[in-house]
Amino acid sequence: MSLLANKIKIVEVSPRDGLQNEKQAIDLNTKLELIDRLVDAGLKNIEVTGFVSPKWVPQLADSAQLCQQLNQQQDVNYSALVPNVKGMQAAIAGNIKEVAVFTAASESFTKKNINCSIEESLQRFEPVIALAKQHDVKVRGYVSCVLGCPYEGEVKPEKVAQVAEKLFNLGCYEVSLGDTIGTGTPLKAQHMFNACLQVAAIDRLALHFHNTYGQALANIYACLQLGASIIDSSVAGLGGCPYAKGASGNVATEDVIYMLQGMNIETSINLNKLIETGNWISKSLNTLTSSQVGRANHK
């Protein structure tokens, strides 16, 4: 009997995960146009920015302005990353209705990424989640390094499940499992996903796989076979984490949609418009790079 879901939720992360890792400055209008184009292509869940420290991630320093100018459509869920109460307060001020808190299954990565231990990060999320609930804001959780850590190497599936369970206990409605550095392979992905199924219902676990070694689509397919039904992806495969050496792009949304359509799985996304958006953002980023290189050369 096939466990393949007949409907998949796609969470588009390019405006946050994609753009946070770009070297060049990206203007606000490009970010806003990217989000509008993604909506036009039919994406219903879009992580638009992060309310993180601009000292840590300068690319997202314009998150408040972005939310102010965002033309929110009623049937689209616009979410943002928040690491602490300060970020949560800014997300509320920005009229964001869903946030994501983020930690990891590796101590070293957590320290490098958010400057605390896993346990401290979970304690930090308590008041964040309490504030979110007061304001009717949904909270998603991320566990990073689920299939390997850039500092510690192998990560045990049981550890991933343990951190995911803690995030659910804190009040997250969904937990996204991040292969931050894309070192996973299909059987390891299944093993990790199965471990998480011991602590959560299948419709509460998302796959967030980076594609460093070209394994993301294979890893997704392996977990789809177990019944996974939520996939994070990024148009044009943009993405990466500045605090995970070697982390490259997320799985491309275009590739995921092409695969799902070929399997007759419903996504309600217009693949042609999505491909146009991928081409447009790639061209925009390349233009920015060459104009900034040009400026540097003129100095």
**83 in contact with ligand HMG (CB under 6 A):** yes
Q: Which of 142, 166, 193, 234 binds ligand HMG (CB under 6 A)?
A: 142
Q: How many residues can be counted in the chain?
A: 299
Look-up of token digits 């399997």? 263
Distance CA(41)–CA(233), nearest Å, equals 14
What is the number of other CB atoms lying within 10 angstroms of the CB of residue 220? 26
* CB 22 to Mg ion: min, Å: 14
DSSP H helical segments within the chain, as ranges?
19-20, 28-40, 63-69, 85-93, 107-114, 118-134, 157-170, 186-197, 216-224, 253-262, 271-298
**144 in contact with ligand HMG (CB under 6 A):** yes
Q: Which of 9, 56, 246, 248 binds ligand HMG (CB under 6 A)?
A: 56
Host H or E run for residue 204? none
Interaction residues for Mg ion, span 8-27 (CB under 5 A):
17
Distance CA(96)–CA(182), nearest Å, equals 29
Q: Which of 180, 215, 253, 277 binds ligand HMG (CB under 6 A)?
A: 180
What is the number of other CB atoms lying within 10 angstroms of the CB of residue 73? 12
Distance CA(228)–CA(251), nearest Å, equals 16
142 binds, among Mg ion, ligand HMG, none (CB under 5 to 8 A by kind): ligand HMG
* CB 297 to ligand HMG: min, Å: 30
| Residue number with CB closer to ligand HMG (89 or 270) | 89
Question: Which DSSP symbol is given to 6?
Answer: S
Q: Kindly indicate which of the ranges 45-53, 133-141, 160-168, 258-266 contains the residues binding ligand HMG, using the contact rule CB under 6 A.
A: 45-53
Distance CA(281)–CA(265), nearest Å, equals 26
* CB 203 to ligand HMG: min, Å: 20
Structural contact between residues 277 and 38, judged by C-beta atoms closer than 8 angstroms:
yes
Active-site residue flag, 241: yes
* CB 177 to Mg ion: min, Å: 11
Q: Which of 7, 23, 86, 156 binds ligand HMG (CB under 6 A)?
A: 86
For Mg ion, the binding residues (CB under 5 A) are: 17
For ligand HMG, the binding residues (CB under 6 A) are: 17, 20, 50-53, 55-57, 81, 83-84, 86-87, 102, 113-115, 142, 144, 178, 180, 208, 210, 241, 243
Q: Which residues are catalytic?
A: 241
